[in-house]
Structure 1
């Protein structure tokens, strides 16, 4: 169940119920007189305590989710039905006298033994059902955990593959940029070489023109002398 308090109340009720049933089935029929009255009062107080436990269980079941609340209320109804039967058994065994007990004690013991065995079987069956439910819930939780882990692995693999693709793209882009830079530097070196070559040619032409101009001036002004 979803409520730990409910489970604790259920365990307390079962312990109290088993104790009351043992007293009603085996101890009270064997007692007589004042001892029987005192044991009867003790059982009556235990029945009141069991009733209070059932009320607390009902209160604890009200805020529970729908499916769990239905299961809790069904348990409380079963417990209340068993408790009502226990109350009827108490009235039956506490109303008979010592002489009747002497003659009917063997029959009571056989009937009570059968009832106790049936009760033990019912309790074992209930605990088995609870254990099966707990196992099913644990299996469901384990399956959900495995499914979430598998989905996480798939997401992780997808992210790794995507990062790997992005890495390849970045490496390819870097290689292209490096190649463009190398090409740019090579073109820049070629351009610089051409500029220097053009400068040298231009300077050579200027020098040649100056030399020709100097020859013309010399020939025109100084050769006639």
Structure 2
């Protein structure tokens, strides 16, 4: 389910958590240190916005059923980013005077940080469930590929056995043809032997008749 999106998602969650910590730390700073910390946070917000844009483009390039789920998550990330921006504005406005800063830190700032932390916790839980679902999908895909490979192997074995059976069948046909030819040859030989027997019998009979005739004439004289 969108490995590229998951990569951007992990980067955003890590960056969002880091920015939240910096916001908490900068609330207690003053002067140049606070300005420097706010500058770092704003640069981080720009990176977070870039990741949001990349996730949006990646989600819209996926299949409709996957895209709908990822865009719903993306709306939560955008809301989280807006909360971070609001925190930064509240912290920056604390530069006006110490009283305003203390008021923001004690009331609205604390509430915003709590809401943002809760939302990030939900996002991390959702991300973990998504990763688990992705792992299950990968396992199912791997099992499907293994089953497909096993099926291909079985089909190849069946094809090889079929070729062997066809070869054996052709061999049997050849043996049958040879037996038929041998049978015809033996039949022809048997007929020739019978004909030769008749010829020999006739010759012997003629010789016997000739001998009898010769003996008759000799005895008659």
For the criterion TM > 0.5, the same-fold answer is yes
Contact between 1:28 and 1:39, CA under 8 Å: does it hold in 2?
Answer: yes
Q: Following superposition of structure 1 onto structure 2, how do residues 76-225 of structure 1 map, counting pairs within 5 Å?
A: 76-97=74-95, 99-100=98-99, 101=101, 111=111, 114-115=114-115, 118-119=118-119, 121-142=121-142, 144-145=144-145, 148=148, 155=155, 173=173, 176-177=176-177, 179-204=179-204
How far is 1:198 from its partner? Answer: 2.8
By how many angstroms is 1:29 displaced? 0.7
* Structure 2 Cα separation of the partners of residues 131 and 88 of structure 1: 30
Please tell me the root mean square deviation across aligned C-alpha atoms, in Å: 4.1
Equivalenced residue count is 218
Provide Cα deviations, 1:178-220, integer angstroms capped at 9, x if missing partner: 654453343233112113223323444565677789x5xxx7x
Counterpart position of 2:60: 62
Tell me, in whole angstroms, the C-alpha distance in 1 between the residues paired with 2:134 and 2:201.
99
In structure 1, list runs of 5 or more residues that go unmatched: none
Tell me by how many angstroms 1:32 deviates. 0.8
Aligned equivalents of 1:116, 1:74: Cα separation in 2: 18
- Once the 2 structures are TM-superposed, how far is the Cα of residue 33 of structure 1 from its aligned partner? 1.3
Residues 18/74 of structure 1: CA separation in 2 closer, same or farther (3 Å cut): same
What secondary structure, in the 3-state scheme, does the structure 2 residue paired with 1:30 have? Answer: coil
The whole-number CA distance in structure 2 between the counterparts of 1:205 and 1:42 is: 135
Indicate the structure whose relative CO is greater, using CA pairs within 8 Å and at least 6 residues apart: 1
TM-score of the pair, normalised by structure 2 = 0.72
